[in-house]
A and B are shown apart, each in its own frame.
Chain A
Amino acid sequence: MKLYKSIQYLTLCIILAVFVMLFTGADALAKIRIVTSLPDFAAIAKEIGGNKVDVEALAKGYQDPHFVDAKPIYVTKLNRADVLIYNGLDLEIGWLPPLVTGARNSKIATLNASGNVDASSYIKTLLELPTTRIDRSMGDIHPRGNPHYLLDPRNGISVAGGIAARLSEIDPENASYYEENYKKFAETLKSKIEKWEAELARYRGTEIVTYHKLWSYFTEWAGLKVMGTIEPKPGIPPSPSHVADLIKDMEAEHVRLIIAANYYPEKTAKLIAEKAGTTFLSLPASVEGRNGIKTYSDLFDVIVSEIASALKEQTGAASDHLSHNGG
């Protein structure tokens, strides 16, 4: 009898072990595969999804997101994806749509598919929504609003919330996990935002010049004013007369800073900075835009600290200059 019982226990144990192995194995396999168009979304999705997801970005952080090569290998990646997170507002219109079509993947193929996440739908206020008639004589404008909303860190929280909600829909078993991660993400980011705002508070109202209309959301949040752009119109390279006018205006308005995403050509910007006596900053505009920027808040750590220190230097220099003149 004893032998019989112990055999019974043993088989039960084995069955249990097999079940446990099976289920853990299944769990390990069932990681949600997320593909994002830009590395910023990948960074946010990683923080929300934690160890329940595999995340991969298509574009590189040091790359202009308007002009990404539609490499066929991306089709293979999208084919295996459960979720596709993209910026929307036509930012990726030149390269993403044919890849999604080629992916033969019902989960992401259509706008209302479960895994098709247009992150712009989570943004409450879009900037530069055209209110009058538009056409392409205004440059390569985005008719549905400025798409660079991730450069306002508050929008990062909205996007994270949207991603958490969508992940909970797809994977309801781990909904509380995603919710918790989202709360953690939002809390840390909120406290960071306060810190960054404090850092930039002294410079509210300062006028700066940017290369492309990339920084609209950032300047809106940071309280900086964009006096002009080096590109006369979105996507149109600067002409000599525009550059000359810009330098004149910058001198008249005492503009102290020029910023540009580090994927734009630096030559013209540097020349203008030199002529107008201002500082030029080539900044990362995306996660992985520079080595060491791994998370969404890393990005703003770099941007805010560089802008603050550049403006500090400039104001310091300006006041020195003034006192020198006075003496």
Chain B
Amino acid sequence: MNWKGNIIILMVLSIITSPLFAYEAFAQGRDEQIEELKQMMEKMQDKIEDLEEDNKVLKQQVKELKNEKETITVEQTGRTEEKKSATVEETEGAEEETEVVTEVAPPQQPGFLGRVAQSLNPDISVIGIFAGAWYSRNDPYVFAEDDPQQTGVDLQELELAFQSVVDPYFRFDTFLSFKQDGVEVEEAYGTSLFSMPLNTQLRMGRMRAKFGRINQIHTHAQNFVTLPLVAAEFLGEHLNPTSIEVDFLIPVPWYMELSALGGSPDVETPTFATDEENANNLAYLLYVFHLANFFEVSDSLGLSLGASFATGSNGTGSKERSNLYGADMYAKYRPLRNSQYTEIGLQSEFMWRQADTPEEKLEDYGFYTEGIYRFAKRWNTGIRFGLTDTNTPVASEDGGGEQISASSSNLVSNRAINPGETLGLPGRAYRLSPMLTFRPSEFSQFRLEYDYLNQDYAGNQHAIFLQFQYAIGAHGAHPY
């Protein structure tokens, strides 16, 4: 037992001390190694110093090269930096001390980022518009597709924009609109950039037609949560035919532009639709004309006045035509000398519609007036009054005891799908909407709005909205 125990103890001891033995065994060689290492280190230090000097010289050369070029375009900067990194790489290849070289001259970040930013991708932006809504009715009267549809929280629109110059001659702007019930190509059009006789500009593709003001303003840039009654009733969500437009800049001392558009009313609108029986007749396509004027009354006050006319078949029967006349006004007062942020805007639009239907000749009109007051950098408030009325109501006062709203789909929106349905309004409707907007930055916005709606044959409706929207991506331009 004893020798066994001794053996075990010896074994354990030897295991524990074995590293020590090993250490001892190699101890003699260690000093020599240290000496060797020291020598190596010294050599390396010398080498590093040499390299640093080389690098300094190189850097100076690059600097001199840079100074030689007085006008450096962005592209050129990119190139010189490429050159620089190339020379660095060369030195790296020549010497083996890679780490040292990169430490002294790291690749320059700005140049790197600059090169990344230089891409030919279009400007992309996404804007999301949502609204919390409360309606006093269970099945609320909603006039436009972008308006909040019922009590609850609603996606009003998700706009996706791609914008870029195509070549020296055109730019192309695309806006896709995602809504709860599908995707719409809201706009996708090319604009000519070159000079043409008579100061002409061409726009081709699908675009919001130049009819009045509100039709040209995207939902996120509008001043209220809901679309004005008259725009919803007469233009639909918006009048955006696929078309060709010619814009003339008239040489007068103020700004004057005459636009003429011809296209197919391929997007359903309450006023215009394809005449199936005369689909090959050019006279029954949709034509829109617009005359825009801008007067700079003073440095602080600008005044826009416009007149519009649209004509085309309305699809209620063969060769039945709608004519839509419009007048618009916008005045903006911005006393810059007193305050950078104070702004008062007054906008008003009037539309008058004549429509032939197999049964009768309809006439109706509508308008809205809105005033916006921006009282601080991030705040504005405003109120809008909108009204639509008709000389020839399509439903009489004893409308079968049923409540008829101008928004009722069988009257307006679905007419093109169900030909023969009457085009027109039931009576008078008006809406009053005060609102308050807060914009934390240029890219986000909150808006509180109350809508009071009164309709001849349908009674009242109250609504409260809290809209919130966000914009990411390319910095958009602000429309005037």
Contacts and interface: CB of A to CB of B under 8 A. Distances in A.
A168 interface: no
B195 interface: yes
Nearest to B256: A76
B341 to A, nearest CB: 8
Interface stretch (B65-73, B153-161, B320-328): B65-73
A264 B475 contact: no
B441 A136 contact: yes
Contacts of A139: 441
Nearest to B72: A124
Interface in B240-261: 249, 254-255, 257
Nearest to B295: A73
A129 B193 contact: no
A104 B336 contact: no
A319 B342 CA distance: 42
Interface string B181-195: 000000000011111
B442 interface: yes
Contact of A69 (B117, B334, B475): B334
A104 B196 contact: yes
B480 A69 contact: yes
Interface string A81-103: 00000000010011111100110
B171 interface: yes
A72 B194 contact: no
Interface stretch (B296-304, B308-316, B384-392): B296-304
B446 to A, nearest CB: 16
A144 B117 contact: yes
B294 interface: yes
A122 B71 CA distance: 6
B113 interface: yes
A185 interface: no
B168 interface: yes
A64 interface: yes
B74 interface: yes
A72 B201 contact: no
Nearest to B173: A101
Interface stretch (A105-113, A186-194, A305-313): A105-113
Contacts of A102: 201
Contacts of A60: 299, 336
A104 B340 contact: no
Contact of B336 (A63, A75, A97, A236): A63
Interface in B48-98: 70-74
A237 B340 contact: no
B68 to A, nearest CB: 12
Contact of B340 (A64, A75, A101): A64
B255 A121 contact: no
Interface of A: 60, 62-64, 67, 69-73, 75-76, 79, 90, 93-98, 101-102, 104-107, 109-110, 121-122, 124, 129-132, 136, 139-140, 143-144, 161-162, 165, 235-237, 263-265
22 contacts: A60-B336, A64-B340, A69-B332, A70-B477, A70-B479, A72-B304, A73-B255, A73-B302, A93-B475, A94-B475, A101-B171, A102-B201, A104-B195, A104-B196, A121-B71, A121-B74, A122-B71, A124-B72, A129-B110, A130-B113, A161-B70, A237-B377
